[in-house]
């Protein structure tokens, strides 16, 4: 029988590269955890209707990319393609918005699934860290989220990313613009599918990547010229707060994003080292989403950053994360009795909070020392019959190469002292 392989468009995370993914999730979530965002976890699947309504019937995500399934009980489910709809559903279900503490600030980390054409940076299973601030309309909240994402990327050492910023207007001004745009688009030379899109979600035509389409869009009406005064003032305030925080951004009036629920502030983080899959993260305000999924009016804002593409961005910039060795002490027993004794020392070290590992399988000194080296441990403990007869273990500093005999009973305390 041939061996199995990971399904098309997916890949496994294995050591040592998996450590980078953990570090990226940690780095992206750290600024959120320090800013009042609480951790939320939702199921990997939801009722398909949540995404159809929440993400939007006309989006690529819902029409083409969703993994849907019918359970044995007849329920229509979908593997989650994104996080916002689920998080808002969960917050409403738990009545978090009624606890009198708005905004409800939440962060999450997990796997997402989209049936896409696999290519570099585009997978069918990928991972995101996201944040949502639910129930408050305040430009400072939009600014906070953008600043925290910027801080996260910078803490990882990324520099070649840019922030694209736009406002999509609200339920007052967006419909007026939508109509103006529709009548402009209807006169263009476009294929059937795009013509259908004009009627369902004309703003997304602006996002068309094809050159022959983009060429025709040069004179399209600009949303900026249609923004109502309230939206304009709101957007100016977000821009001013970002500028005051020293966070550089570029105004991009064509930025619409692939989800239907965005209003007002919309933004995307792009990395210039990634070729065509350049978006490392994106987000925006979604003031109407709660009502769309049956909840009360809850103006909200959020983002999701792609972990996979962030790792690719690190590789593109040549950033090596400073990942400390996971093992501090490696024990190498020579013989049966030493195995029992050193295994006891390792257990004691671990209970004292010192990361320790052990040469399992009764291997010879040479092979075991090779594993000790590979583990990155700062110290090794070696003991053979003669050492045990003398009541000592050999403690070797792997950095300096110095070795000394230490009384067995003091080995753990000595290591704790040396490792600080």
Smallest gap from residue 103 Cβ to ligand ATP (A): 21
Smallest gap from residue 268 Cβ to ligand ATP (A): 7
Residue 345: HSE in the Cβ half-sphere, 13 Å Cα cutoff: 34
Smallest gap from residue 282 Cβ to ligand ATP (A): 4
Under a CB-based contact definition with an 8 Å cutoff, are residues 105 and 35 in contact? Answer: yes
Smallest gap from residue 122 Cβ to ligand ATP (A): 4
Could you give the C-alpha distances from 403 to 3, 267, 399, in angstroms and in order? 46, 57, 11
For ligand ATP, give the closer residue by CB, 128 or 167.
Answer: 128
Smallest gap from residue 165 Cβ to ligand ATP (A): 15
For ligand ATP, give the closer residue by CB, 163 or 388.
Answer: 163
Longest Cα–Cα distance of the chain, Å, equals: 93
Smallest gap from residue 348 Cβ to ligand ATP (A): 44
For ligand ATP, give the closer residue by CB, 239 or 271.
Answer: 271
The closest of 326, 304, 306, 303 to 314, measured between CA atoms, is 306
Smallest gap from residue 304 Cβ to ligand ATP (A): 4
Binding residues for ligand ATP, rule: CB under 6 A, are 82, 114, 116, 121-123, 126, 128, 257-258, 277, 279-282, 304, 306, 308-309
For ligand ATP, give the closer residue by CB, 126 or 379.
Answer: 126
Cis, peptide link before residue 16, omega less than 30° from 0: yes
Query: 117-134: string of b/e by CB count within 10 Å (b at 16+)?
Result: eeeebbbbbbbbbbbbbb
For ligand ATP, give the closer residue by CB, 144 or 308.
Answer: 308
Under a CB-based contact definition with an 8 Å cutoff, are residues 146 and 166 in contact? Answer: no
Q: Give the whole-angstrom CA distance, residue 295 versus residue 320.
A: 45
Smallest gap from residue 41 Cβ to ligand ATP (A): 18
For ligand ATP, give the closer residue by CB, 81 or 333.
Answer: 81
Which residue is closest to ligand ATP by CB?
306
For ligand ATP, give the closer residue by CB, 113 or 358.
Answer: 113
Cis, peptide link before residue 380, omega less than 30° from 0: no
Could you give the C-alpha distances from 272 to 41, 45, 155, 317, in angstroms and in order? 32, 33, 18, 9
Could you give the C-alpha distances from 420 to 28, 250, 379, in angstroms and in order? 28, 47, 13
For ligand ATP, give the closer residue by CB, 286 or 330.
Answer: 286
Smallest gap from residue 205 Cβ to ligand ATP (A): 15
Pairing verdict, β 38-39 and 104-113: parallel
Smallest gap from residue 68 Cβ to ligand ATP (A): 17
Q: Give the whole-angstrom CA distance, residue 321 versus residue 17.
A: 11
For ligand ATP, give the closer residue by CB, 281 or 333.
Answer: 281
Q: How far is CA 195 from the centre of its chain?
A: 34
Alpha-helical (H) ranges within 168-221 are 174-186, 192-200, 211-216
Judged on CB neighbours under 10 Å (0-12, 13-18, 19+), 148 is buried
For ligand ATP, give the closer residue by CB, 147 or 304.
Answer: 304
Under a CB-based contact definition with an 8 Å cutoff, are residues 287 and 170 in contact? Answer: yes
**DSSP string for residues in 207-251:** G---HHHHHHTTTPPPGGGT--HHHHHHHHHHHHHHHHTT---EE
């Amino acid at each position: 029988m041939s061996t199995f392989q990971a399904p098309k468009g997916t890949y496994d995370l294995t050591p040592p590269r998996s450590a980078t993914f953990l570090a990226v999730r940690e780095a992206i979530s750290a600024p959120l955890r320090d800013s009042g965002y609480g951790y939320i976890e939702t199921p990997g699947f939801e009722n398909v209707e949540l995404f159809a309504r929440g993400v939007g019937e006309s989006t690529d995500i819902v029409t083409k990319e969703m993994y849907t399934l019918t359970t044995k009980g007849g329920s229509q489910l979908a593997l989650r393609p994104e996080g916002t709809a689920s998080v808002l559903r969960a917050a409403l279900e738990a009545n978090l918005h009624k606890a009198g503490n708005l905004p409800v600030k939440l962060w999450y980390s997990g796997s997402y699934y989209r049936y896409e054409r696999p290519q570099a940076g585009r997978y069918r299973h990928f991972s995101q860290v996201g944040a949502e601030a639910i129930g408050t309309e305040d430009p400072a909240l939009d600014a906070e989220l953008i600043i925290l994402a910027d801080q996260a990327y910078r803490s990882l050492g990324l520099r070649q990313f840019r922030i694209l910023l736009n406002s999509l207007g609200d339920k007052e001004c967006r419909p007026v613009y939508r109509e103006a745009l529709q009548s402009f688009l209807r006169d263009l030379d476009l294929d059937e599918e795009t013509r259908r899109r004009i009627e369902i979600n004309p703003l997304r035509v602006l996002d068309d990547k094809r050159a022959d389409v983009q060429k025709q869009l040069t004179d399209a009406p600009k949303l900026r010229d249609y923004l109502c005064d309230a939206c304009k003032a709101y957007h100016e305030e977000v821009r001013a707060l970002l500028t005051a925080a020293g966070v550089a951004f570029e105004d991009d009036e064509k930025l619409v994003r692939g989800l239907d629920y965005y209003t007002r502030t919309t933004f995307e983080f792009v990395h210039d080292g990634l070729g065509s899959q350049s978006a490392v993260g994106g987000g925006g305000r979604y003031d109407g989403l709660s009502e769309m999924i049956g909840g009360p009016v809850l103006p909200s804002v959020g983002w999701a950053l792609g972990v996979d593409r962030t790792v690719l961005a690190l590789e593109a910039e040549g950033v090596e994360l400073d990942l400390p060795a996971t093992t501090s002490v490696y024990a190498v027993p020579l013989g049966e009795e030493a195995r029992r004794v050193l295994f006891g020392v390792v257990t004691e070290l671990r209970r004292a909070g010192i990361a320790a590992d052990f040469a399992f399988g009764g291997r010879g000194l040479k092979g075991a020392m090779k594993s000790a080296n590979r583990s990155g441990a700062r110290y090794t403990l070696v003991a053979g019959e003669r050492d045990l007869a003398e009541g000592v273990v050999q403690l070797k500093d792997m950095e300096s190469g110095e070795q000394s005999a230490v009384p067995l009973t003091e080995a753990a305390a000595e290591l704790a002292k040396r490792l600080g």
